Amino acid sequence: MVRVIELKATDTKDLGHQLGEVFREEIRRKVERAMDAQWPARVRGSLRHWSPTKRLFPKYAEEIQAYAHVAGIRWQDLWTLNLEIDIDAERCTTMVTNGGKLIGHNEDFDPKSTTDLFLLKKTVGRLTVLDLNYFYSLGGNAASVNSHGWAQFINTLHGLTLRTGVPRNVIARWLSETKDPERDVRRLLRLPRMDGYAHTFVHADSRALTLEVASDGVAISKARLPFAHTNHYLSALAKEQTFSSGSSRTRFKTATEKLSKRMTVPAIKRLMSDHSRGNKSIQSAATIGKMILDFPHREAQVWLKRDPKAGFTKVPLDFLP
């Protein structure tokens, strides 16, 4: 059974303190392993993006500092890990069917990150988020669902990076807490953005939106269901793309061909486990986690590669509106 780490905090600073307690040993080891000859340069590069983040999202800056303080590491090192600078792994595959009522997400990353991924259920004030969470990050950059009824699924995109701006992992955390994605996108348009992801939003009432973000552009539209996204732009922002792999296009082709308008949970599990295209399959050696959202049954199912014998663990979405 996949362990669900439940945290209840009064604010983001309190959440940071609790994360530092829970992941103290893991984050210390992560920082120690990261400190190679290039680490000082990565830290200097990451700090260019701290000022706009602290100004525009002070509560997340405070969370980072609180987490680092309790864990006994420098906040600059935790911030640098959170940005994932020079980590350009392709992740992931998201599939939406049943009129927005059933979603499957494969979380793909460096197989060495298998032990970095956890399942968190975090409540801050009155907001609860179930989050497939990289413990060194602010969260929200994989798959999540919140108590406003919105789920968010993230796919890596390859675009230009601004010298100074709010990083995509901060934007992903912010949008994982959204009550109204379209309203938040209006704010997003005004933000200086370091880079961007593809965000798929699905509400428990079946509304589905696709958002692609680049450093100098944003594209949002209603998702035409059934819908799939991998790691290349599907909008006019494709002109911003700096790299597009055969893996992304192959996974997208497989998903769009095999997704149907009506699917059962076992059927989408089979599709999420598709190995038909070798290392370009929907599931590969890089698949380190999976999340299924079954809105009619108010249930998530989560699989983590770190504990494959556990299979899928069912988690009630008892916080949905």
What gap in Å lies between CA 272 and CA 94, rounded to an integer?
9
For residue range 202-249, list pLDDT tens digits in order: 999 999 999 999 999 999 999 999 999 999 999 999 988 888 788 999
Window from 69-73, 185-189, 243-247, 269-273 with minimum mean pLDDT? 243-247
DSSP code at position 241: B
CATH number at residue 163: 3.60.60.10
Whether residues 216 and 166 share a domain: the answer is yes
pLDDT score at 88:
62
Q: What are phi and psi of 11, to 5 degrees?
A: -155, 180
3-state DSSP call for residue 188? helix
Question: Is the predicted pLDDT of residue 79 greater than 90, yes or no?
Answer: yes
Residue 321 counted as domain residue: no
What gap in Å lies between CA 183 and CA 186, rounded to an integer?
5
Residue 130 counted as domain residue: yes
Whether residues 75 and 109 share a domain: the answer is no
Residue range(s) defining the domain that contains residue 178: 93-316
What gap in Å lies between CA 317 and CA 321, rounded to an integer?
10
Residue 88 counted as domain residue: no
Percent of the chain residues past pLDDT 90, beyond the cut: 90
DSSP code at position 237: G
Nearest partner of 161 among 193, 203, 114, judged by Cα = 193
Listed residues 55, 83, 111: the one ending a domain? 83
Number of domains present in the structure of the chain? 2
Listed residues 15, 50, 83: the one ending a domain? 83
Q: What angle do CA 302, 308, 309 make, to 5 degrees?
A: 110
Percent of the chain residues past pLDDT 70, beyond the cut: 98
pLDDT score at 160:
85
pLDDT score at 265:
98
Listed residues 52, 83, 114: the one ending a domain? 83
For residue range 80-128, list pLDDT tens digits in order: 999 997 766 666 999 999 999 999 999 999 888 999 999 999 999 999 9
What gap in Å lies between CA 205 and CA 198, rounded to an integer?
21
DSSP code at position 261: S
- The larger pLDDT score, comparing residue 88 to residue 56, is at 56
Residue 291 counted as domain residue: yes
Whether residues 73 and 104 share a domain: the answer is no
Which token pair is 42? Answer: 């990565």
Whether residues 77 and 99 share a domain: the answer is no
pTM over 0.75: yes
Contact 188, 171 (CB under 8 A): yes
pLDDT score at 89:
67
Residue 294 counted as domain residue: yes
Nearest partner of 92 among 167, 174, 169, 198, judged by Cα = 198
What gap in Å lies between CA 177 and CA 42, rounded to an integer?
28
pLDDT score at 163:
81
Question: Is the predicted pLDDT of residue 19 greater than 70, yes or no?
Answer: yes
Whether residues 17 and 113 share a domain: the answer is no
Question: Is the predicted pLDDT of residue 57 greater than 70, yes or no?
Answer: yes
DSSP code at position 280: G
Question: Is the predicted pLDDT of residue 141 greater than 90, yes or no?
Answer: yes
